[in-house]
Structure 1
Amino acid sequence: SESYLAKIFTKLGKAGITRSVPGVNGGYELARNPKDISFWDVVEAVEGKEPLFQCAEIRQKTVLVDQNNLPDVYTKCPCFIKKVMLDGENEMKKYLSAKNLDWLYDEVYGRILPKGSEEETLRWFMEKKGETYGN
């Protein structure tokens, strides 16, 4: 929906990824070079900087443990599930940080779409905007 996209573009704008373009044919454009915008930048802009996995510390809330006398295993060492999830998130962050919007463009137009489809795609977007392609 337009309201959802407006919220997303607001977040992307605050992160310096996009900026609004005023005017009748305005909209949004990238605020930085596509080589300088990683997939992780976009995820972090939209989702925030908090870890994606939030540990609920259920070990400390179990009825099997005396809440007034928690053993060290419940408070001093990290939960194994939390550790695995945070390690996985760090690997995802590394991978997504290594991929940028310029890489995506090269993949789509260089490998996935048939040759010559870039112009056809641009023509389609321009027609949707109410402009004539090539002017």
Structure 2
Amino acid sequence: MKYSKATNYALHTVVYMAQESLEHPIGVKQLAETQSVSPTYLSKILTKLAKEGIVRSISGVNGGYTLTIHWEELSFLDIIQAIEGKASIFEDCLYQHEDCEIKNVMLMAEEKLEQELREHKIVALVKK
């Protein structure tokens, strides 16, 4: 798991969409303006979110993006993994021997981080 600018934009976009409109699609241009990011760049992020079923793309003149019907269940981890994938943070740097204590500590820390992110739901930010 990684936390890149794309992940940051994805989290902010999903929260904005939940706060602004659950009934009407929001255009990529409007979404991009809220974060001062290029619509092209945000469109790539939204494509990843759509592929994972977090947002839905609606075509046409009044088209744009909406959150899926179960958006209240979305966690921070869901969005991070939609953008970054599910690979371990330490995948490339861990010694592959199973008895490696350093590896075990790092994997345990990653599990705790993922659990914390899984417990934090997007809906909690919308209700504030």
Range class of TM-score, shorter chain: 0.5 to 0.7
Which is bigger in relative contact order (C-alpha 8 A, separation at least 6)? 2
Size of the alignment, in residue pairs?
91
- Residues 12, 87 of structure 1: CA spacing in aligned structure 2 closer, same or farther, 3 A cutoff? same
Give every structure 1 segment of 4 or more consecutive aligned residues whose post-TM-superposition deviation is greater than 6 Å.
none
Instruction: State yes or no: 1:23 paired with 2:60.
Output: yes
Secondary structure, counterpart of 1:9 in structure 2: helix
Displacement after TM superposition at 1:51 (Å): 1.1
Query: 3-state SS of the aligned residue for 1:29?
Result: strand
1:79: how far off? Answer: 5.0
State the TM-score, normalized to the length of structure 1. Answer: 0.58
Q: Provide closer, same or farther for how the CA distance between residues 92 and 56 of structure 1 changes in structure 2, counting only shifts above 3 A.
A: closer
Which one of 95, 100, 108 corresponds to residue 78 of structure 1? 100
Match of 2:47 among 10, 18, 24: 10
> Could you say which residue in structure 2 is the equivalent of 1:37?
74
C-alpha separation between the residues in 1 aligned to 2:74 and 2:118?
9
Amino acid at match of 1:77: D
RMSD: 2.1
Using the TM superposition, name which of 40-49 and 1-10 deviates more.
Answer: 1-10
TM-score, structure 2 length as denominator?
0.61
The answer on whether the counterparts of 1:34 and 1:100 sit within 8 Å (CA) in structure 2 is no
Counterpart code for 1:27? G
Structure with the greater alpha carbon radius of gyration: 1
For 1:89 and 1:76, the matched residues in 2 are separated by 16
Secondary structure of 2:66's counterpart equals: strand
